[in-house]
Structure formats: structure tokens, C-alpha cells
Chains A and B, each alone.
Chain A
Amino acid sequence: MTDQAGAVATDRGDHDPIIQMIGVSKWFGAFNVLRDIQLTIDRGERIVICGPSGSGKSTLIRCINRLEEFQSGRIIVDGIPLTNNVRDIEAVRREVGMVFQQFNLFPHLTVLENCTLSQVWVRKRSKAEAERVARHYLERVRIPEQADKYPGQLSGGQQQRVAIARSLCMNPKVMLFDEPTSALDPEMVKEVLDVMISLAETGMTMLVVTHEMGFAKSVADRVLFMDRGEIVEQAPPDQFFTNPTSERTKLFLSQILSH
């Protein structure tokens, strides 16, 4: 297992992979969404994934917590191989937090209850302990005063920050973000990005699908470019933005940076 991982390792010196995707392919019916994905992510790495719409970015990160199944290849998260075994899947999901484009908060629960629910039921924490943790993370995302409101009473930016806090409450080892700012009004994008930047500073392993190239430049260790189900290019941001090797990347960058 380790030697295979070594074969697809990045050029970083300290190899301590937390996620390994080895030859992962996925089809939706006859449509090949992911083609032979090789990807190794080290602990504490911050990865930004970009690429044109429909290129399979969401599908890729949703495979990591098994919201999507894949047909061939292997994914190992924190030493746990993802199989069809429900126990393995749940074990992986406990360690992997996810933030969605549409927030997906539970509308029937208050902000605080959103944050304590899985702590109590999955992490088996006492209610008091869970609330303490929840308040801590709500503080971290800078909305401690909204704890007793319902999600429907909050702005989009606030809801997304609650969603981040809800995931962090589980003390995940990896955080997945699927276009976390795409559904937000422009004036709210920054408050969410700020929270993500401060999260990156704590050393959290992060995989972020986003078109916010400013965020990629300032935070990412590696930027991945995906097109038609393949990882076409991956490089540190300075290299990625100034000196891309693939024509497809160049074309994409010229489109996205021109406006």
C-alpha cells in the first residue's frame, strides 16, 4: 500500500499522506466522469481544485467521503480503505468534514443544535460538552451571537459559516469544500473566505473546489486543474498561475482571469 502511494507521491519531502486516490475511475452510466485519478494529499496540505464546469471536481471530492461511489481504483483516507462496508464509510466520514455550495444546514434545528447534533450522536459527547465545543467554533467563525436562531433567519454568508462550524465541531482531520462561496452574494464572499483562510492557518488539511483564484494564490500549497475527468495539471500556485504547462490550463486561466 505504501509503495503504491509512493509512486504517486508529490515532490514534497515529508510524506505523511492522509488521502490517497489510486487509479480511481467513475462512470455515470456510460459517461466517464473520473478517469484514472492519482492523487496523494499529505497532512496539513491545502489543495485548490479548479476546472471548467462538468469536469468532475465535485464528483472527485465527493468520492473522498463516499457521497459518490466509484467503480474502480482505491481510496484510502487516514489509513482506512473506502470499501462498500458501511462501517468503513462511517469511520471515514467521521474524520472528513464537508461544506456544500448550498450550505445544507438543518432548517428544523437551531444553529447550536446544528452544531451539536452529530457530536452527540456520532462522537458520543455529552450535551454540555458538545455545546461548549459548538460555541467555541461558532466563535471561531465569528457568529457566536446567532447560536439560538434558526438557519432561515441568517444571511447566506452566516449560514455558510455555521456550516463550516458544524463540520469543525466533529474535529475532522480533513475538510472538503465544494464551491463554498458560489451561492453567495458578492459582499458575503469575503467573510466566508476569511474564515477559510484562518482555518488554513491552523494547519487543517483542506481540499477546496473554487473559482476564487485570489484564495488559491494566498492559501493553496498546490492547485489542481481538472478537465474532462482528469487531473490535467498540478503545481504550487505561483508556478500554476505564471507558468502552466498544459494548453488546456492556459486556455482555462485566460478565460477565468480575463474578467
Chain B
Amino acid sequence: MTDPTPTDTAPPPPAGTLGPLAWLRANLFSSWFNGLLTVLILWGLVELIPPLVHWLVIDSVWGPADPQTCRLADGACWAFIHEKYRLILFGTYPYDDQWRPLLAVMIIVALLAASCDPRTWCRLILPMWAIGIALVLVLMFGGVFGLAYVENTRWGGLPVTLLLSVVGLAAAFPVAILLALGRRSDLPVVKALSVVYIEMIRGVPLISLLFMSSVMLPLFLPTGVTIDKLLRAQIAMIMFASAYLAEVIRGGLQGLDNGQYEAADSLGLGYWQKVRLVILPQALAMVIPPIVNTFIAFFKDTSLVLIIGIFDLMTAAKAALTDMYWRGFYKEAYLFVAVFYFCFCFFMSKYSKWLEARTARGVRR
């Protein structure tokens, strides 16, 4: 009892449950194992952070500089990003017209932001997206209003990634709902078709779907008929996402009490009214986290289109690295791209939390 550190042995005073020391005890040192982990992690941070800060900030080369300066420096070569960011973000889109993809990206982000609040999901949202996406396509393609025509083989970078994922998910979602309903349908043909579709798509990797769409599909098409490569990739991605989302949504449908179906039936609601007004609002709310999880995975999976030569954000970063003059700055390029992926994914994750809390409040309160 003569121990100089009274917090070790003395029973904690009632008032002390609020101080910073108490917080430390409760959160970081609640058991010897937790204490050990805390110490280990602290040690790791001490080892890691200073070199990281040195590499990222202190020793790095900022602003315009030539590769020689970079190679002599110990830190990151942000000059590389400074030199190449337009190529990474917009690919080989004509340099002087790159305000168009920039504007397109801004429109997509604005559309996403405007769709966040479920209160706007009334009749406005469909026309809003239709107009928005049409505007994006006009900007990207051009050929009207005095804008020079730009083939979509020259598109690249962020707008391609965003278009593939946003349009992909927007189109896949309703398909997924139909597939999920179909899989639970009483009609044997509908049910069988849904099951076969879902299992077929889920049974193959996305890469092979993309390959099939880019290499095999043209072989089957009659000569003269061609489908644009980007569109083919988009269709493959929609097929892929819809199968996965369908299974997630089916989980929600199954989680719903049968009494909800019966109550809706007994009130005389037709099948689609029942689905739209009673079943889906509850079933979808139940599966928000796994839906967003699928969204995030899908968003990152769009980077696989690089294997069929579509210029998304990831491909663009790789292309930037092929410059002989600027060879070898992988870390900077991938870090730069990662920041973009992270921002979107982190936003989706936060949004899912918020949406979940919101719907839960509506139901429980």
C-alpha cells in the first residue's frame, strides 16, 4: 500500500470515472492484453510516422521539377503528379478540351450529392439523372453546340471510372430488384430464369465476363454490327453487379415477415403495389450495409476494365508511368489514384451509416 502510483492499487474514486486517466484505463488498458496491444501499436506508430512524414512532406519534391531532381531527393516526387495529373485524371482526352471531362465529373458528383437525401427520391430523381447523364454524354462526346467530337476511345481517367460505376450501379439496381423478386416468384419459369442468370454470373470472375464481352461477343455478332467497346464493358459490369445485388436484396426480402405480404394482399394491393409500397421499402432498408458493401466492391472492380484496354483511372495511372523520361514513380502514381478511390469509398461508407440510422429511426421511433 506504499506504492507511489495510487491508481494501480487503490479502488477508483467515484468521481475519477470521468477524467482522462479513467478514459485511458477504460479504452486502452482495460486488460493486460489490451494494454500490450496499446503499447505495441504506439511503438509501431512511433516507428512509422516520422519516416512517412519525411517521405510524404519534408524530403519530397513539390511543384514543377525535372525527374533528375526527384531521383536525387529522398522523398516522394510530387513533381511527377504535377506533370502527369491531367493524363491520370482525364486520360488521352484532347488536352485543350479537358475542361469538358472536368465538368462531366463535377456534374456526376453534383448528381450524387443531390441524391443523398431520401426526401428527394420522389418523382424528381429519374428525370434529374436522365438529364444529368445526357449532359455528361454531350460534354464527353461533343459533336454538337460547337464542341469538337471526341471518340470514346480517347476518353479516360476519372470520368470513365465514374461513368462505368455510377451508370453501372444505377442500371444494375433495378435489374437486381427484378432478379431478386424473380427468384422468389411463384412462376416456375421466372424463377428458373432468375436462378440460372444469377448463378451463371456469380460463377465466373468479372475478368472473364469482361473478356467475353470484349473478345468473344464480337465473334458472335453478325458482320457489320459492332457494339462500342466501352458500352460492351458497361453491359458486362451491369450484368455482374446485378447478380450480386440481387442476392443481397433477396436476403432482405427473406428477412421480411410473411405477415407483411399477407396484410398487403388482404388490403387488395396488386403485386407491384405491394412490392413497391410495402415490401421493398422494408427489405431494402434491412440490407443497406451489404448493398453499400457491394457498391464499394463494384466501384473498385471497375479498375479491372484495364485488362481490356479501357482507359479508367487505374489504366491512366499506368499509362502515366510508361513515360520513359518519368519512369519508376509508382508509389506516387498509385497513391494519387488511391486517394480518389478512397474518397469515394469512404463517402459511400459514411453515407450508408447515415442512411441506416435514418431509416432505423423511422421504423423504431
Interface membership of B6, Cβ < 8 A? no
| Shortest distance between the CB of A246 and any CB in chain B (Å) | 32
With A105-B263, A108-B285 given, is the CB distance from A93 to B268 under 8 Å?
yes
Q: Which chain A residue lies CB-closest to B277? A: A117
In the bound complex, residues from chain B placing their C-beta under 8 Å from that of A86 are 270-271
Complex Cα spacing A104 to B266, Å: 11
B268 touches A102 (CB 8 A): no
| Among B259, B268, B270, B271, contact of A170 (Cβ-Cβ < 8 Å) | B268
A104 touches B262 (CB 8 A): yes
A107-B282, A118-B267 known, 17 other contacts, Cβ within 8 Å:
A65-B266, A93-B266, A96-B266, A98-B263, A100-B262, A104-B259, A104-B260, A108-B281, A108-B282, A108-B285, A108-B362, A118-B269, A122-B267, A122-B268, A122-B270, A150-B362, A152-B363
Interface centre among B266, B277, B282, B363 (most CB of A within 10 A): B266
| Shortest distance between the CB of B175 and any CB in chain A (Å) | 24
List 27 A–B pairs whose Cβ atoms lie within 8 Å, in order of A's numbering: A67-B262, A67-B266, A90-B270, A93-B266, A93-B268, A96-B266, A97-B266, A98-B262, A100-B259, A100-B263, A104-B259, A104-B260, A104-B262, A108-B281, A117-B267, A117-B277, A117-B278, A121-B273, A121-B277, A122-B269, A150-B364, A150-B365, A152-B363, A152-B364, A152-B365, A167-B266, A170-B268
With A117-B277, A150-B365 given, is the CB distance from A104 to B263 under 8 Å?
yes
| Shortest distance between the CB of A198 and any CB in chain B (Å) | 22
* A residues at B contact (CB < 8 Å): 65, 67, 86, 90, 93-94, 96-98, 100, 102, 104-108, 117-118, 121-122, 150, 152-153, 166-167, 170
In the bound complex, residues from chain A placing their C-beta under 8 Å from that of B257 are 102, 104
Q: Which chain A residue lies CB-closest to B281? A: A108
Interface membership of B74, Cβ < 8 A? no
Complex Cα spacing A100 to B260, Å: 11
With A106-B260, A108-B362, A152-B365 given, is the CB distance from A94 to B282 under 8 Å?
no
A93 touches B265 (CB 8 A): yes
Complex Cα spacing A170 to B264, Å: 12
Complex Cα spacing A67 to B262, Å: 7
* B residues at A contact (CB < 8 Å): 257, 259-260, 262-271, 273, 277-278, 281-282, 285, 359, 362-365
Complex Cα spacing A152 to B267, Å: 20
Count A-B contacts at CB 8 Å: 71
| Shortest distance between the CB of B355 and any CB in chain A (Å) | 14
Q: Which chain A residue lies CB-closest to B262? A: A67
| Shortest distance between the CB of A148 and any CB in chain B (Å) | 11
Complex Cα spacing A105 to B363, Å: 12
In the bound complex, residues from chain A placing their C-beta under 8 Å from that of B268 are 90, 93-94, 118, 122, 170
Q: Which chain B residue lies CB-closest to A151? A: B363
Closest 3 CB pairs of A and B: A104-B263, A118-B267, A104-B259
In the bound complex, residues from chain A placing their C-beta under 8 Å from that of B278 are 106, 117
Complex Cα spacing A188 to B365, Å: 21
| Shortest distance between the CB of B146 and any CB in chain A (Å) | 47
In the bound complex, residues from chain B placing their C-beta under 8 Å from that of A106 are 260, 263-264, 278, 282
Complex Cα spacing A108 to B365, Å: 10
Q: Which chain A residue lies CB-closest to B260? A: A104
In the bound complex, residues from chain A placing their C-beta under 8 Å from that of B281 are 108
Complex Cα spacing A166 to B278, Å: 14
| Shortest distance between the CB of A208 and any CB in chain B (Å) | 15
A93 touches B267 (CB 8 A): yes
| Shortest distance between the CB of B193 and any CB in chain A (Å) | 21
With A107-B282, A108-B281 given, is the CB distance from A67 to B365 under 8 Å?
no
In the bound complex, residues from chain B placing their C-beta under 8 Å from that of A166 are 267
| Shortest distance between the CB of A150 and any CB in chain B (Å) | 6
Complex Cα spacing A242 to B125, Å: 66
Complex Cα spacing A104 to B270, Å: 17
Q: Which chain A residue lies CB-closest to B365? A: A150
